[in-house]
Structure 1
């Protein structure tokens, strides 16, 4: 019983102390000056911080689109297509269509966004929109090296990034 009372006392003390800290931090935040305007940032490799739907000139100089593979979950059959940047195209006879809005050869997440840290194909990723009869089913990133990270979910088809199409 004494142990339970001691544990309860410590919990109350910690809660009380942390509430005071939170109030002080909140008051500081209220009195702080507004955040400065965000300007494009550069990576060590000189690549700027981008919006996910932006195609970098360095990418479009070297690549014209991406390679997509659609795997039928029921029978294992595969459909491979080339998806040019910015164009909505059918994924074979699946009834699905894909639009590629961005491609990074070396995708990384940073505070405030995403960026391509180099032109070396170390972590290829493509920002795509997948639709079915005009209804958007997916708007996200497909990762070539990590196809199960934030995958496209569909009852029949698994759509993965298979690579990029060089010019």
Structure 2
């Protein structure tokens, strides 16, 4: 009889725990579907003296399958269709002293302290990457493509 009573009490406890667990899940589900606060967009500010001085960058494109590397010179604001591929590379901005101040990306000076180029890569006209290449930190935020690698290798002034 004691054994039956223990079994009955244990069964009741298990039922209570299971019922409470289901209710907790149901209470949590609506909270998870609440909209999240919007992330503030970043803004790129290129100082006028930087815009006047720096006109182009050189980007090395590595073909991972053929173990070949080709360096292309692209003017800031220009675009290049990579030969033998369906990729297009565009240089949006160049910042010689890249810094992030809150949500603003800018250049703290015109000196080559932390050179970075903002690029856009399109595959069959579809944007697959928009981000930065850092010459001093080539693996930071590096874009991963199955066939190609991209590295910022040099920067050219207008003179």
> TM-score, structure 1 length as denominator?
0.64
- State the 1:121 CA deviation: 0.2
- State the 1:92 CA deviation: 3.6
Alignment-derived partner of residue 156 in structure 2: 165
Q: Map 1:8-157 to 2 at 5 A.
A: 51-52=43-44, 54-157=45-148
Are the aligned partners of 2:46 and 2:106 in contact in 1 as well (CA < 8 Å)? no
- State the 1:108 CA deviation: 1.2
Are the aligned partners of 2:118 and 2:133 in contact in 1 as well (CA < 8 Å)? yes
Structure 1 residue runs of 5 or longer lacking an equivalent are 1-49
Are the aligned partners of 1:126 and 1:141 in contact in 2 as well (CA < 8 Å)? yes
Per-residue displacement from partner, 1:65-103 (whole Å, max 9, x unpaired)? Answer: 211100111232011111111122223433321111111
Larger Rg, first or second structure (1 or 2) = 2
Query: How many pairs are equivalent?
Result: 117
Alignment partners' CA distance in 1, 2:56 and 2:47: 12
Alignment partners' CA distance in 1, 2:100 and 2:51: 21
SS of the residue 1:66 aligns to: strand
RMSD across aligned positions (CA): 1.7
Alignment partners' CA distance in 2, 1:165 and 1:93: 26
Are the aligned partners of 2:43 and 2:103 in contact in 1 as well (CA < 8 Å)? no
Alignment partners' CA distance in 2, 1:135 and 1:112: 26
- State the 1:138 CA deviation: 0.6
Are the aligned partners of 2:46 and 2:107 in contact in 1 as well (CA < 8 Å)? no
> TM-score, structure 2 length as denominator?
0.67
SS of the residue 1:152 aligns to: coil
Are the aligned partners of 1:79 and 1:92 in contact in 2 as well (CA < 8 Å)? no
Structure 2 residue runs of 5 or longer lacking an equivalent are 1-41
